Structure 1
Amino acid sequence: MTRSLRIGVDVGGTNTDGVILDPSRSSEPGRGIIAWHKASTTGNPSDGINNAITAMFASSKINPEEVASVTIGTTHFINAVVEQDSARLAKVAIIRLCGPFSKGVPPCIDWPVKLRNLIRGYYCLVDGGLEVDGNLISDINEEQILRETEIIKSKGIKSIVIAGIFSPVDVLYRQEERAASILKTIYPEASIVLSKDVANLGFLERENAAILNASILPFARKTIASFQHAISRLSLKCPVFITQNDGTILLASQAANLPIRTFSSGPTNSMRGAAVLTQNEIKESMMVVDIGGTTTDVGLLLANGFPRQAAAFSEISGVRTNFSYPDVRSIGLGGGSIVRKSEDGSLTIGPDSVGYLLPEKAIVFGGDVVTATDYTVLADEKSEIGERTLVVKAGLDGNVGAFKAEAKRMLERAIDNMKTSAADIPVLLVGGGAIIAPDELKGASKVIKPEWSGVANAIGAATARVSGVVDTIESTEVKSAKEVMGVVSERARKRAVENGAREETVRVVEMDHLPLQYIANKSRFIVKAVGDFDFERTTVGPEESLANGTAEEDEMKEFAKGSAAQDVSKEEGESPAIDISSYKPNIQDREWVISETDLSWISIGCYILGTGGGGSPYGHMLRLREIMRSGGVVRVISPDDLKDDDLVACGGGKGSPTVSIEKLPGDEMMQSQTELYNFMKVQPNSVIALEIGGGNGLQGMILGSSTNMNLPTVDGDWMGRAYPVAWQTTPVVFEEKPVFLPSTICDGNGNVIFMTQAKSELMVEKAFRAALSQMGSHVACAKGPVTGKNTKSWVVEHTISLSWRIGRAVALARKENRIDEVAESIIAEAGGKDAAKVLFKGKIVEVERTLRTGHVYGEVIIEGMDTSGGEKAEFEGRMKIPFKNENILAVKENGDGSETIVASVPDLICVIDAQNGEAIGTPEYRYGLLVIVLGIVASEKWTSTQRGLEIGGPKGFGMDDVEYKALGKFQKPRSVISEYA
């Protein structure tokens, strides 16, 4: 008998949905759907799967011998993490292959304290790791790994993560694999997770994902074994698959080793199901709107039939990860959303909901809570849901129009936020709550409510395909980027075949090419290929072996119940809640002692002042916070309090952001300072940041608080923002001869370079940049000290204070739910309307990037749009912002085709996220983001002289035809020390 039928089951938190379909009949009106079933999810997921398939067999008279596969989607694994359930999460040991790097940022450093204490059992840092070009930082040390394994074994920890620097591009040394092999020789019963198998570049996020994956392994294996047991009981002899986050599938045995790849398969299944339901009607990208009982999930389904993936990183229960994850936005609109009437007569819908209690609570079912379903039934005289007469008697008739308008506005808003261009796009409505949506929506070229949309998630599961993904860094010195992309694409196709795809069906669906800053002839290539599973290549059935995965019925019931109530009291290391409006910084004898609250706000402000560049301060913030928690004291002093003969040190990082997200800092920053001052045979009295913008904005405080120096940090910097190169500093403006000599750079791995003489700071910059590629493409730089007298003349004053004030304004706006006013709050802290202004508000609709001389040049285009939820846009037309690592110009496109420059360097052009007030760096620009463009007048240290404008203005970026015109009048930032002393 031919096996041609496929079963899809989606086990959600509320409902378990199932379908049986025949793919050969997918073009028919019924889409090949032979049977479907929807029922409440059971405590034991095995029972729910069994019940769903049994019910479908009974209604369709299907012979189990005809079934080719069963594919299951589940939220059980992510729920275990979200619920922080100790019964389902195992302790994890982490072995880092990192050599001298990352010691200041230990594993789980940025996790919620409770979850970290629950999962992290042990960690160690050992030799190993690669540079970005594939060369060794150091080779692994077998004795170290054996010694650490004995310790882990003695603690009884069986889930172990091995994470190596740049391991995703390690095809030659295979350090993670070799370390695992050594470990297995004395601890064969351990379950080992290699970070490279879980996620891609971005060390901290990849390690986090691997740790979560390792922690969930025992529960995942038991759960998947229970799934297989359910299939066996039904006499089905076919492969069992689990759906992944990206819309493809894994064999159950593979998913049992990589359960994190299934964490967000629910929304993905709905989107893949939507693609199947419209395959004969729509051949372009479309918006999928999945309306449930509590929320509406909105995601963009690309023309290739797969969801758009989230950019950069995703957050799971407070933990940053970077594995493949769909870009889905949720709003509080569902069938169970509670509807209220405001004092002004308007209606509000949600975000609270009666959820699964809808059949009991809604008026249409005899309850007393007014829900979206009640108004939907009232608006449809032909509705067969509940008792319509009950809602008629409730007297809601006069508000039907207002309800429809508000629901329509909420949906249109959500759709518009996810669009990638201003053009209308098809919108597909799925989910049980789709009945509340109107038939027409602004921004939609068509609105489709297909048959079977209520079980789109199960359809998506049944029709999922096999994928192969390659994320690698390759040389483009000999071959062109196009040729290299062809080679990488072939590797992705082969990987898809290795994963079980039928070779003739495999095709490439995603390709990305990212040139690497400051790294000659190196680019990052990301390729994804997909294909149909080759059923002829496998005889594997539901009984396929799962190591440590045997699950008895009673045991799974216990897992399903979850653990007993957990202690929710505040744990050690958890920051107490503070009243932002009344908070006062700790000033002692005109020294500002930085707290974790101060640090959080300063970090937010630093990235905003980075004007798109400088790199995210996030990793540096974590390191400084760890120093503080270990007893380090961070002190900030006013430049006004410096003595003329003081020596003020300065340091910062140079190099590629791609390296900095993978090779976390070691001691190189401190080493560069030590080497410099040992050479000079003097000691500095304080330290100052090279630039306040971005990650370097925290470097002064990191250096000053380190035990070797214990120096105060000056409240100021040499830029007042971020610039692409280190010679664009105010001392260079005021002094033509080199001012920072001698200078030194260190790579943290035993290599140090000094420069004791040079004709100019520009030549120092050129020499150090040339050495970068041979030193791992990222180094620490220590610049020669400046006297206190010169510092007071050259410094951009009180920029740590300004960062603090900006960050506090953002935090307060969030707390008081005033994000729509966050721009005005930042302006007030930056000197008021004369010193700062909103330049534009809208949505990013286009981004272009290219790499020249190590810097990322590009242009972002923003289309005017209301960013706070209203109907009328405050700004019309478009704005474009050219950038060279940092934003250079803000150019308004006029209706007649002409252009007006509304701001330029050295004034600060800052792009912030309209949804949370945080900065958006140029590497993070992407289609669809709602943004606010702020302009802040630059310090007079840049604008008061022609030389300052030549170095830091448009001419410093090769724009000789652009004349600088100040946005307004500079207002010196207010000193926190002077205000609160």
Structure 2
Amino acid sequence: MVSQAVAGSARPYRIGVDVGGTNTDAVILDLGQAESSTLGVIATHKAPTSQPNVTDGIETAVRSVLQQSKISVDDVACLIIGTTHFINAVVENDIRRLSKVAVIRLSRSFTRDVPPFADFPPALKESLHGYYGWVDGGLHIDGAQESPINEDQVREQCRLIKAKGIDSIVVSGVYSPIDRHFHQEASVRDIIQRELPDVDVVCSSDVSQIGFLERENASILNASILKFARHTIRGFKLAMKRLNLHCGLYLTQNDGSLIDAEAATRLPIRTFSSGPTNSMRGAAYLGKLELKLAKETGVSTLVLDVGGTTSDIGVLLPSGFPRQSSAYSTVAGVRVNFGMPHVTSIGLGGGSLIHETEERLAIGPTSVGNDLTTQALVFGGSVLTTTDVAVAAVGEDIGDGELVKHLDPRLIQKSLARIKAMVESAVDDMKTSPDPIPLLLVGGGSIIVPDGIRGVSQIIRPRLHSVANAIGAATSKVSGALDSIESTAEQSTAQIVEHAKKRAIEAAISAGAEAGTISIAEVDVIPLQYVANQVRVLVRAVGDLSHNHINLEDTIHDDDTEEEEEGRSETGNQTKSLDLHVDGEQQAFDIDAYRPQVSKNLTTGIHEWIVSERDLAWIADGCYILGCGGGGSPYSEFLRLRAQLRDGHVARIIDAASLPSDARIYWGGYLGSPQVFGERLTGPENRQATEELQKYLGDDHFDAFMTIEIGGACGLLSMLVGSSKNFSVPTIDADWMGRAYPMIWQTTLCVHAPGNLVPCAIASGDGKTLVMTQTTDDEIVDRALRAVSSEMGSLVGLAMKPTTRDHILSYGVRNTLSLAWRIGRCVARAEINNTMVTVADDIIREVGGPESARVLFRGKIVAVERRLHKAHSYGEIVIQQLPAEEEEETGGIGNSRQKRSQALASGGQIRIPFKNENIYAKHEAEDGSEKYLAMVPDLISVLDSRSGRAVGVPEYRYGLLVTVLGITGSTRWTDTPRGLALGGPKAFGYDLEYKPLGVYKEPKSVILEYR
């Protein structure tokens, strides 16, 4: 490589190329003329993407703009390409472009119960799964080492991988993104490269951020396409050679910044979502004059890219960069957490079909797509599309307007109103406040969007919008990011943020940014629940590409032709189809005919519910809904238990009443921060805590296990501990809460039989245990164990004093696993039958009908407040009534109408404060009157209106459409003043008198129904 400083005046031009599924666009830009009337656009090209080799299309597009502009190739500073090459290889599961991957995990004690590839769709797993193993290593949440690296163990893993002939390896360490002192992943990589010098090694901390499984998944996908990335980028360089271009080669990344060609061969996954990002960046450049005021006032901007079939909407921050997705993303059915723009797609485009019946008018999601110019009415076709309506309404100069003059004005107005409503709904989803903000319209189908969009301060329709993607590529900048967990014990949050900003700026400079142009694009500080003095800080810095960083590359030789031809094999008959329904429901599945397996144990005579994978998925969804916003996501526990079932282990559930009166029943849960779940995936902590308590009590066996709470992650815990992989005992279909609560003493056992928490034991999972033998009251137990748990990794397994059958029958909340199963089945049924609009009503029927549960409110989250106090997450959400025109009134299959029940309150808004879990729901009407709809111990669950699944406190965000469900709590909480004192509103500091939502009905037992 010949590296040469490039003066801006000597090489003023940039070439931007964007390769889409339909078209390949190219532009030449002179950024020195960016403020002129031409915006510095010297030449443009738009043509269908070439098949089968898109590199030919890139070469043709670049040649075209060079010929149009008549500029010298010596005046081109860099070629910047946005491409879908790499993500397509994964989505299409093309085995010619994918490599088998080996994974080495760094953790002595954790992550073993959820192996690598655990949540990959089967077809993709078959293509990529090569090998996995563990070595000592890993960190805790405070940055301390769980264990140092053992070099001999790494060498042994190398020997096993070499024997399998795998040459792509991922190194994945617990909490590796915060490893600034030990550099464990880098150390293991160095050992591997000494032992296996010809293999590719990917460190997970180079790929993504905190969130172990999702980071590892992203690293696996990245490793699988490294060979193909090298072939592809070599093809780009060969095209440059044929064009006589001797300039820097860059690719665009997911966050709107650049990555040089050499780095892209190591991290091709960073380009996966560059298409929508280029669109937004190009829109920002084209609309910069109109957006100048917005940038100066710190206002974000919406970008709507309207294609032929769908429209993508995203948010440009005042920095001019896309807002990143705050939640996990999915690529080819695999959960990942690398930086992706937050983009929502809707089934609306210029070719969308319009269907009108007597009952309703529908637009999309079907579309004529690329056949618009032959099938739409304005082009002489016979199909009514949104483009036809736009031409008829406003006389757009497209096709022949005479061909749509016959359209009924009423149909035109109804269609425009429906388009407007669809856009307004998408706009509302993406906004982070109710204030109106600008909207940039780009894409060939943008003519269909009418004026007067609610929630939008102005609509900007820039010229050259059809090549916005290529312009976005050409104007890309350079970024540096930081994601870290820091302690506030010896420094303020403000000091932490300032230090993080400096580190992000240093990262941007290292990536090639001009120091004097760097600004901070994003800052986010997130308190960690149940972890004292710890915050997660995320910072991103951006700046212009430094001319001194541009490399003039001369690395292509004549003998590279064979490699190029291999790289051109980009499509073919060996592509496998992905089964994206691996964990979901197949459309053909008859959910109402399904029967869980309940059979009599011939040894004990007890009827046992043998849990299947399908049962498990339903129980997990139900547990999160019963968590009332808290309890932590059950996803990790679901994967652990599913892996056990797939390995042939068995989980059994029984009714407590079937046990003899002298049965020994252990119970427990988790204590600590749900954030730790995301890295450690939990481990043996509950088994070890139970073993420690057995040792102290002298028990060599016990008869059954029960969870402390059904809500959230703990809801699956009893099946994990009781499975045949661990203690091989049945799980009790009951718990001590009937929901989730933040404290150990907030249990029905402590209400009716205080003093039954000790002796108890906790275990960290990595060798640290503690037994508490005596106490003066139940509350001290929680405070003491919580203080110790912060020194044991901030998450411990908990095993409490064994209980009896009679205690459970007298004081426990019974049949709660059955209830979770029934609730989860409702969500699955709604998915299969396309009746999500009535999923809340189905759940209400399962929990006892309208006398026991109600839809409290439907609307959109319009405000979220969060704060941390004594390691607890406090806050409040405000949910506002949706306008009538946004209410979904139909559902189901075809034209069948599904009427949903009326909410307990409508109009105005409701407020829901939370302390890890939701506390009450208060309605505030338009006339100023207030009414409490529900309060603890009754259950208040916030459901995503589009999926029917629970929205936990960590996922609350502005714009989410939600249904608030209220379920009457167990009478174990309400039949005594002590129950309300421990579990009612006063326990959370609210001086409110409890008023029951309805009448509690004990859930129906699955075991009794299906035995």
Matches within 5 A, 1:546-945: 552-558=563-569, 560-564=570-574, 566=576, 578-589=589-600, 590-682=607-699, 683-736=701-754, 738-865=755-882, 869-870=886-887, 875-897=906-928, 899-945=930-976
* Aligned amino acid, residue 30 of structure 2: D
Residues 301-342 of structure 1: CA deviation (Å, up to 9, x unaligned): 222212121122101111000111111111111122222332
The yes-or-no answer on 1:386 pairing with 2:386 is: no
Residue 498 of structure 2 corresponds to which residue in structure 1?
Answer: 486
Shift of 1:366: 4.0
Call closer, same or farther: CA 1:806–1:545 in 2, change over 3 Å: farther
Give yes or no for contact 1:168–1:196 (8 Å, CA) kept in 2.
yes
Residue 897 of structure 2 corresponds to which residue in structure 1?
Answer: none
Shift of 1:829: 1.2
Q: Which runs of 5+ in 2 are unaligned?
A: 1-8, 601-606, 890-901
Give yes or no for contact 2:258–2:479 (8 Å, CA) kept in 1.
yes
C-alpha distance in 2 between matches for 1:15 and 1:803: 48
Shift of 1:898: 5.4
Give yes or no for contact 2:657–2:805 (8 Å, CA) kept in 1.
no
C-alpha distance in 2 between matches for 1:318 and 1:573: 10
Return 87-96 or 857-866, whichever deviates more. Answer: 857-866
Residues 263-314 of structure 1: CA deviation (Å, up to 9, x unaligned): 1110111111111122221212121110001101111222221212112210
Call closer, same or farther: CA 1:976–1:476 in 2, change over 3 Å: same
Residue 4 of structure 2 corresponds to which residue in structure 1?
Answer: none
Residues 690-742 of structure 1: CA deviation (Å, up to 9, x unaligned): 10000000001111114342111111100000001111100000023x21321
Residues 26-60 of structure 1: CA deviation (Å, up to 9, x unaligned): 22232221111111111222211111121112222
Shift of 1:139: 1.0
Shift of 1:575: 8.6
C-alpha distance in 2 between matches for 1:478 and 1:414: 44
Shift of 1:541: 2.3
What SS does structure 2 have at the residue aligned with 1:774?
coil
Call closer, same or farther: CA 1:486–1:606 in 2, change over 3 Å: same
The yes-or-no answer on 1:27 pairing with 2:35 is: yes
Q: Among 414, 419, 424, which residue is 2:431 paired with?
A: 419
Return 922-931 or 899-908, whichever deviates more. Answer: 899-908
Matches within 5 A, 1:273-672: 273-282=282-291, 283=294, 284-344=299-359, 346-381=360-395, 383=397, 385-391=398-404, 399-538=411-550, 540-543=551-554, 552-558=563-569, 560-564=570-574, 566=576, 578-589=589-600, 590-672=607-689
C-alpha distance in 1 between matches for 2:742 and 2:503: 36
Residue 270 of structure 2 corresponds to which residue in structure 1?
Answer: 261
Return 118-127 or 864-873, whichever deviates more. Answer: 864-873
C-alpha distance in 1 between matches for 2:390 and 2:321: 31
Shift of 1:409: 2.0
* Aligned amino acid, residue 528 of structure 1: R
C-alpha distance in 2 between matches for 1:703 and 1:780: 11
Residue 14 of structure 2 corresponds to which residue in structure 1?
Answer: 6
C-alpha distance in 2 between matches for 1:868 and 1:87: 49
Residue 967 of structure 1 corresponds to which residue in structure 2?
Answer: 997
Return 574-583 or 260-269, whichever deviates more. Answer: 574-583
Call closer, same or farther: CA 1:684–1:232 in 2, change over 3 Å: same
* TM-score where L is the length of structure 2: 0.93
C-alpha distance in 1 between matches for 2:388 and 2:160: 61
Shift of 1:368: 3.8
Call closer, same or farther: CA 1:694–1:450 in 2, change over 3 Å: same
What SS does structure 2 have at the residue aligned with 1:611?
coil
Give yes or no for contact 1:222–1:551 (8 Å, CA) kept in 2.
no
Shift of 1:653: 1.3
Residues 340-359 of structure 1: CA deviation (Å, up to 9, x unaligned): 33244x43221122222333
Residues 780-817 of structure 1: CA deviation (Å, up to 9, x unaligned): 11112101111110110111111111111111112111
Return 103-112 or 333-342, whichever deviates more. Answer: 333-342
C-alpha distance in 2 between matches for 1:678 and 1:335: 70
Give yes or no for contact 2:837–2:888 (8 Å, CA) kept in 1.
no
Residue 60 of structure 1 corresponds to which residue in structure 2?
Answer: 69
Shift of 1:978: 1.6
The yes-or-no answer on 1:195 pairing with 2:204 is: yes
Q: Among 18, 40, 52, which residue is 2:26 paired with?
A: 18
Return 529-538 or 85-94, whichever deviates more. Answer: 529-538
What SS does structure 1 have at the residue aligned with 2:230?
helix
C-alpha distance in 2 between matches for 1:704 and 1:141: 33
Return 575-584 or 414-423, whichever deviates more. Answer: 575-584
C-alpha distance in 1 between matches for 2:543 and 2:855: 48
Give yes or no for contact 1:647–1:785 (8 Å, CA) kept in 2.
yes
Shift of 1:545: 8.1
What SS does structure 2 have at the residue aligned with 1:832?
coil
Pairwise CA RMSD of aligned residues?
Answer: 2.2
Residues 577-634 of structure 1: CA deviation (Å, up to 9, x unaligned): 6311221211113321111111111100000000000000011011111111111111
Give yes or no for contact 2:237–2:556 (8 Å, CA) kept in 1.
no
Call closer, same or farther: CA 1:256–1:567 in 2, change over 3 Å: closer
Residues 615-669 of structure 1: CA deviation (Å, up to 9, x unaligned): 0001101111111111111111112323221121112111112211101222221
Return 34-43 or 936-945, whichever deviates more. Answer: 34-43
Shift of 1:465: 0.7
* Aligned amino acid, residue 385 of structure 2: T
Give yes or no for contact 1:226–1:551 (8 Å, CA) kept in 2.
no
Residues 506-543 of structure 1: CA deviation (Å, up to 9, x unaligned): 111111111222322221111110100101244x1244
Q: Which runs of 5+ in 1 are unaligned?
A: none
Matches within 5 A, 1:61-140: 61-140=70-149
C-alpha distance in 2 between matches for 1:626 and 1:653: 20
Give yes or no for contact 2:254–2:271 (8 Å, CA) kept in 1.
yes
Residues 392-411 of structure 1: CA deviation (Å, up to 9, x unaligned): 57x67763333222222222
Give yes or no for contact 1:7–1:21 (8 Å, CA) kept in 2.
yes
* Aligned amino acid, residue 751 of structure 2: V
* Aligned amino acid, residue 161 of structure 2: I
* Aligned amino acid, residue 508 of structure 1: I
What SS does structure 1 have at the residue aligned with 2:116?
coil
Give yes or no for contact 1:88–1:562 (8 Å, CA) kept in 2.
no
Return 18-27 or 891-900, whichever deviates more. Answer: 891-900
C-alpha distance in 1 between matches for 2:170 and 2:995: 55
Give yes or no for contact 1:218–1:549 (8 Å, CA) kept in 2.
no
| Percent of paired sites with the same residue | 49
Count how many residue pairs are aligned between Structure 1 and Structure 2. Answer: 973
